Every structure is written in structure tokens, then in C-alpha cells.
Amino acid sequence: MSSSGRTIRYDHSALRWVSHLVVTCLLWLTFVSDVSAHGERAQLASMRMRTIHWFDIQVHKTEMKVGELVTITGKFIPSEHWPKHLGGVEDAVYLNVGVPGPTFIRLESSINGVPMIRSTSLEKGKLYEFEMQLRARIPGNYHLHPLLNVRDVGTLVGKGAWVRVEDIDEPVTFVNEVETMQGEVIDLETYGVETVKIWHAIWIVLGLAYLVFWLIRREMFIPRYMQTKQAIESGENPNDIITRRDFMVTAGFFTVTLTLILTGYLYTDYKYPLTIPLQTGNVSVTGIDIPAGPLRVDLNRASYELGGRSLTLEMQMTNSGLLPIQLTEFATANIRFMNPEAPATMPVYPDEEMVAANGLEIANGVIEPGQTIDVKLVASDSLWETQRMTGLIHAPDSRFAGLLFYQDTNGEQYFQEVGGTIVPSFF
């Protein structure tokens, strides 16, 4: 190809490499399959154990039709053993729900009764109760997770549950109607879609026109690069490649672009004179003090046995109450290890995941009033492996945390956090 009296030769190896890459990407997109993944597994084991303790999470309806409501309730405690290298919950936290795409509409959410329209701040070691109400939007099987978005930390995922959404029998279009401050009822499913299409069409036409101009000139990308390279090698000024016509056409496109932006802004300001900016302030939520139980727990040693997939805690416990106390459960990283010889302190809901019904072995599991004894607690189950918790031994800060549940003979239930240094065992 010749341009400005110069002959240009091209090396087509780069073009062949790009074409092979495009074909590979297209094949990957064609044959990729859906996966049933659990978001919490992707997080570090130490991070799951020492950030947010989720418990008593319930999805109150697991089968529904499009348009029906589902409520998620539960509790969580920000750990007092929070990793020091992570940002804390004292800055900005937002309660959210983890679903695969826009399959649900979140109608309401609250923490300790305070609406969670905006972010909030939390206290470590305090109890928080949350509730979210969703409306099913798209049929399918989905794994719902409550989650907290924490500034400078990321997303902390709670225990999920599978729900099935079936399509409605009648051929009725799904609507999501709200009433504006001016009393106008609009459907958020379709509101503003036509305007979006118009603006997309405008920018596509403008972009294609600019692209066609350079295609006609046959000076896009590689040709322009080769001209610049050849000009430099021959001692010429590469800026001379840009002609006056290039400047005029580019200036015209630039002027049209600014005119469209300004016109769109002025028209929008005229059509919608009353607007409220997005709100960024935090709301205040008061944490609930965890009820103090009669059991004092001192951790002597904690170890994780890789081969046996078990966490062993050696503790000294003192019962300062008037009734015998029985240990019932140890929960960490959304996994519940239950004492099969004791009634459950927290209910086990139907189809609840990550529950080791016989996963807790306790020596001296009953502490009499006024008694101080050494207790050995072993939490063992294959869930350590399947939930990718064995990565705990690779953490540079080998520490753990979890919730210990217990109750007295009158059925009074208590829980408290236990945590500290952990020693890995490979044999």
C-alpha cells in the first residue's frame, strides 16, 4: 500500500495472533457452562472466621412464583478478633443481598429496626438483627446470600440458601410500580428505556460516522502506526501526517458531541425541574449488647489438624451460675458444628446448609454450678475441606474466632465469641 508517495509493507503476524485470540474467546463463550458456586468459598478462611459471625439466618420462603415476596432474617456479630490489616466496620457498611444478577427486587431492608436505605457504621462485639424483603423477578434456581459491603474490605458473605422461582401461569408482564413525589405512578421496569435507546442510537451513529471517515482514508491503527514509524526513520516530522482536513473533521465531531451533551442536559433540567441528588450520608444503628452468660471461657490452646480436618480447642471454663451448663454448638465461617448429645441452642432450618449435625465432640460437656474444669472441644467434619477452610494453615496471621453456644437446664440460651492463636498440625 502506498501513502504520500511512500511504500509500506505490513507484518501480518500480529493480525493472525489477534484473529486466533478472537476465535478462542468466541469458542470459550460458546461452550462455557453454568456453575453452582457458593460465593463464601472464594474468601480466605481466616477472613471468614474473624470478620462477621452470621447465625440464625432464615429464608422464610424457598419456593415462589414471579412477583411473590420472600423475607430473609438473621443475626450477625462483628468479630472482636477482626484482622488488623483490614479496614473495620466502624467506617461505612452497607447491608445487601447476593443474587446472580437482577433476579430479585429488594423492597425493604433494616438492621435493628433501622431502614438501611444508606450505609451505616457498626461496633465490633455487638449483636445486630437484620431483615430484608425481596420480590422475585426472573424464574430460576438461585442461591441467596445476605452480605455486608464494607469500605476498604469488600464483600463479606453470609450463609446462603437455595430458592426456586417459577414463572407465573398467566401471560402477565412483570411490573415494578412506584409513586413519585409528584404523585406520578411509574413502572421501573420500563421507565426511561426509550430515552436510553435514543441516546444509544445517537452515540452509535456518531461513533460509526467517525469510524467510517478513517476507514475511507485507510489510515486506521496499523497503517497510521506504520506511517509514523517510517516518517521517524526517514527523519521527517511525524506530525505532518495529520492534515488540515483531519483537524477540521475531528473538530466537527467534537463540536457535535459537546452540543449533544449540553442540549441533553438543558432538556433534562427543563423536563424534570424537581430532582433530589443521591444521598451519601450514614444512618446510625445502635448495636445490641450480647447477654452476659454465667460461663467464663479461657482459651489455653487451639490447633488445626490437617489430616483429620478438625479444630481442637482446649479451654478452661468456670460456671458462675446457679444451674448446670451444657455446651451445644460451635459456629465459625458460616459452618455449624453441633453437639449430638445436647439440644440445639439455635434452630436448624429445613434444607439449611453447612451444618455438621455430629461434628462437635466435647469432653466434660456439662459444667456444674461453681465448677472450674478443663474442656476439650473438637470440631471435625468434611466441611472443613469442602468449604475450603484448610487454607487456614497458610495464613500469615494464624488466628481463629467463632461463636460458642450453650444453655442451662432451664433452657436459657447463651453465646459468646471465642478466639485466639491457632497452631497447625500436619500429622
Mean pLDDT confidence for 75-96: 93
CB atoms inside a 10 Å sphere around CB 281: 6
Mean pLDDT confidence for 296-310: 88
Whether the Cβ atoms of residue 340 and residue 328 lie closer than 8 Å to each other: no
**Local structure of residue 417 (DSSP, 8 states):** E
CB atoms inside a 10 Å sphere around CB 407: 22
Mean pLDDT confidence for 85-96: 92
Q: Is the pLDDT of residue 380 over 50?
A: yes
Mean pLDDT confidence for 5-30: 54
Q: Is the pLDDT of residue 39 over 70?
A: no
- Tell me what pLDDT residue 8 has: 41
- Tell me what pLDDT residue 334 has: 93
Whether the Cβ atoms of residue 346 and residue 55 lie closer than 8 Å to each other: yes
Taking only the tens place, the pLDDT of each residue in 71-82 is 999 999 999 999
Enter the pTM of the model. Answer: 0.80
388 φ/ψ angles, rounded to the nearest 5 degrees: 60, 40
- DSSP string for residues in 15-80: HHHHHHHHHHHHHHHHH-------GGGGS-HHHHHHSEEEEEEEES-SEEETT-EEEEEEEEEE-T
Identify the band that residue 295 occupies on the pLDDT scale cut at 50, 70 and 90.
very high
C-alpha span between 269 and 263 (Å, rounded): 10
- Tell me what pLDDT residue 2 has: 41
CB atoms inside a 10 Å sphere around CB 422: 24
Whether the Cβ atoms of residue 324 and residue 369 lie closer than 8 Å to each other: yes
Taking only the tens place, the pLDDT of each residue in 188-223 is 999 999 999 999 999 999 999 998 888 877 666 777
Buried b (16+ CB within 10 A) or exposed e, 72-104: bebbbbbbebbbeeeebbeebbbbbbbbeeebb
Identify the band that residue 144 occupies on the pLDDT scale cut at 50, 70 and 90.
very high
Taking only the tens place, the pLDDT of each residue in 332-371 is 999 999 999 888 778 888 888 899 999 999 988 899 999 9
Taking only the tens place, the pLDDT of each residue in 164-179 is 999 987 777 788 899 9
Whether the Cβ atoms of residue 70 and residue 105 lie closer than 8 Å to each other: no
Q: Is the pLDDT of residue 308 over 80?
A: no
Taking only the tens place, the pLDDT of each residue in 269-285 is 998 888 888 888 889 99
Across the chain, mean pLDDT equals 86
Q: For the structural domain made of 39-181, what CATH number should be given? A: 2.60.120.570
- Tell me what pLDDT residue 229 has: 84
- Tell me what pLDDT residue 5 has: 44
What fold, for 295-425?
Immunoglobulin-like (2.60.40)
